[in-house]
Amino acid sequence: MKGITPVIAVILLLLITISLVGFAFVWFSKMTQQTTSSIGTQVQTQTDNTGKRVIIDTATAGTPGHIYIRSLGTQPIDMLNEVGIYVNGVKRDQTSGNAATGCTPAWTAGNIAVSATVSCNTNCNAGDMVKVIVPGSTDQVVCS
């Protein structure tokens, strides 16, 4: 019996070691796969956002004034969720339909197509700073 005990101990140690190595391999494989997938998604989001660029063609003073925004990028821009319009640092609500606080006519769900121009008629005095922000760029002009 004395000769069998060390053999059983060695076999048990080998089995435990192989199990731990197998567990570590599976765990590291899953972590690598999840990290790679996450990085790929983030890179795609950044690439898409880089393709969302706008400029302000004109910002005319008045009640309401007229702001014309043109898409220059390679990706369409979600009008309601990705565009921020500010006059003197105050955000305008594109869905309000009120020229004092937002855009007229009110924007509805949809995209600004590549190379398309949209307008926001909102109160803007001469000298007011108009700023438009989208995920890939920012543009600002003085209302004139």
Please check the confidence at residue 95 and state whether its pLDDT lies above 70.
yes
pLDDT for res 49: 87
Please check the confidence at residue 69 and state whether its pLDDT lies above 60.
yes
pLDDT for res 78: 92
Please check the confidence at residue 1 and state whether its pLDDT lies above 70.
no
- Asked whether residue 43 falls in the same domain as residue 72, the answer is no
Residue that terminates a domain, selected from 50, 70, 85: 50
The DSSP output letter for 22 is: H
Q: Which domain holds residue 64?
A: 54-142
- Asked whether residue 37 falls in the same domain as residue 86, the answer is no
Q: What are the angstrom distances between the C-alpha of 107 and each of 29, 31, 77, 136? A: 47, 43, 13, 21
Query: Where does the pLDDT of residue 33 fall: very low under 50, low under 70, confident under 90, or very high at 90 and above?
Result: very high
* For range 22-47, the mean pLDDT: 92
Selection from 2-6, 26-30, 34-38, 61-65 with the highest mean pLDDT: 26-30
Please check the confidence at residue 57 and state whether its pLDDT lies above 70.
yes
pLDDT for res 99: 84
Please check the confidence at residue 37 and state whether its pLDDT lies above 70.
yes
Query: In this structure, what CATH number is given to the domain that contains residue 60?
Result: 2.60.40
Cα 15 from Cα 86, distance rounded (Å): 66
Cα 144 from Cα 59, distance rounded (Å): 6
Q: Return mean pLDDT, the chain.
A: 91
pLDDT for res 96: 84
- Asked whether residue 123 falls in the same domain as residue 110, the answer is yes
- Asked whether residue 22 falls in the same domain as residue 85, the answer is no
Please check the confidence at residue 90 and state whether its pLDDT lies above 70.
yes
Global model pTM greater than 0.75: no
Q: State how many domains the chain has.
A: 2
- Asked whether residue 61 falls in the same domain as residue 4, the answer is no
- Asked whether residue 20 falls in the same domain as residue 46, the answer is yes
Provide the percentage of residues in the chain whose pLDDT is more than 70: 99
Bridge-partner residues for 71, per DSSP?
54
